[in-house]
Structure 1
Amino acid sequence: MKNLDIVAFIKNNKSYFEDYITRSTYNSNAIEGSTLSYADTYAIVFKDDSFKVSAKPREIYEAINHKYALNFVIDNLQNEADERFIIEIAKIINKNINDISGFRNVDVFIRGAEHIPPKKEVVQNKMLYFIDNYNNAKHTSIFEKIAYNHIEFEKIHPFADGNGRTGRLIINYELLKHNIAPSIIPVEDRSKYFEFLKTSNVENFSIYLEDLSKQEAERLKKFLL
Structure 2
Amino acid sequence: VTNKGNRKLAYKLFKHALALSPRFTEALNKFGEFLEHENVIQADLLYQRALSCDPGYTTAVMNRRRTAPVVAEHDKTVFAEIDKQKKELYKYSAHHPTLRSAMKEFYYQHIYHTVALEGNTMSLDEIRKIIDLKIAVSGKSIVEHNEVVGIAEALKYMNNTLLVKVGNITVHDIKSIHKRVLGFVDPFGAGEFRNNQVFVGRHIPPHPDDVDIFMEQFEEWLNSEEVVHLHPVEYAAIAHYRLVYIHPFVDGNGRTARLLMNFILMKNGFPPVSVEVKDRWEYYETLIAANEGDIRPFVRFIARCTSKTLEDYLFAAELPYLNSNDPEYFKAGYSTFLPNP
AA aligned opposite 2:120: S
Q: Deviations over 1:112-146 (max 9, x none)?
A: x1001111100000000011111113343222222
Question: By how many angstroms is 1:8 displaced?
Answer: 5.5
Q: Distance in 2 between matches of 1:182 and 1:174?
A: 9
AA aligned opposite 2:181: I
Q: Which residue number in structure 2 is paired with residue 35 of structure 1? A: 121
Q: Which residue number in structure 2 is paired with residue 151 of structure 1? A: 241
Q: Is the contact made by 1:7 and 1:74 (CA closer than 8 Å) also made in structure 2? A: no
Q: Distance in 1 between matches of 2:94 and 2:196?
A: 40
Q: Which residue number in structure 2 is paired with residue 86 of structure 1? A: 174
Q: Which residue number in structure 1 is paired with residue 7 of structure 2? A: none
Q: Which residue number in structure 2 is paired with residue 206 of structure 1? A: 299
Question: By how many angstroms is 1:154 displaced?
Answer: 0.5
Instruction: Determine which of 128, 131, 134 is the counterpart of 1:45.
Output: 131
SS in 1 for 2:230: coil
Q: Which runs of 4+ in 1 moved over 6 A?
A: none
Q: Which residue number in structure 2 is paired with residue 141 of structure 1? A: 231
Q: Distance in 2 between matches of 1:115 and 1:47?
A: 41
Q: Distance in 2 between matches of 1:39 and 1:149?
A: 31
Q: Which residue number in structure 1 is paired with residue 203 of structure 2? A: 115
Counterparts in 2 of 1:22 and 1:6: CA distance versus 1, 3 Å: farther
Question: By how many angstroms is 1:7 displaced?
Answer: 11
Q: Does 1:60 align with 2:153?
A: no
- Unpaired runs of 5+ in structure 1? none
Q: Which residue number in structure 1 is paired with residue 251 of structure 2? A: 161
Q: Which residue number in structure 1 is paired with residue 311 of structure 2? A: 218
Instruction: Determine which of 80, 85, 102 is the counterpart of 1:16.
Output: 102
Q: Distance in 1 between matches of 2:276 and 2:93?
A: 21
Q: Distance in 2 between matches of 1:23 and 1:6?
A: 22
Q: Distance in 1 between matches of 2:185 and 2:137?
A: 23
Q: Which residue number in structure 1 is paired with residue 273 of structure 2? A: 183
How big is the alpha-carbon RMSD for the aligned residues of Structure 1 and Structure 2? Answer: 2.5
- Unpaired runs of 5+ in structure 2? 1-85, 320-341
Percent sequence identity is 27
Q: Does 1:105 align with 2:198?
A: no
Q: Is the contact made by 1:78 and 1:177 (CA closer than 8 Å) also made in structure 2? A: no
SS in 2 for 1:66: helix
Counterparts in 2 of 1:61 and 1:6: CA distance versus 1, 3 Å: farther
AA aligned opposite 2:121: T
- Say which one has the larger Rg: 2
Question: By how many angstroms is 1:210 displaced?
Answer: 1.8
AA aligned opposite 2:180: I
**Of 98-107 and 62-71, the range deviating more from structure 2:** 98-107
State TM-score, norm by structure 2.
0.60
Q: Distance in 2 between matches of 1:94 and 1:9?
A: 32
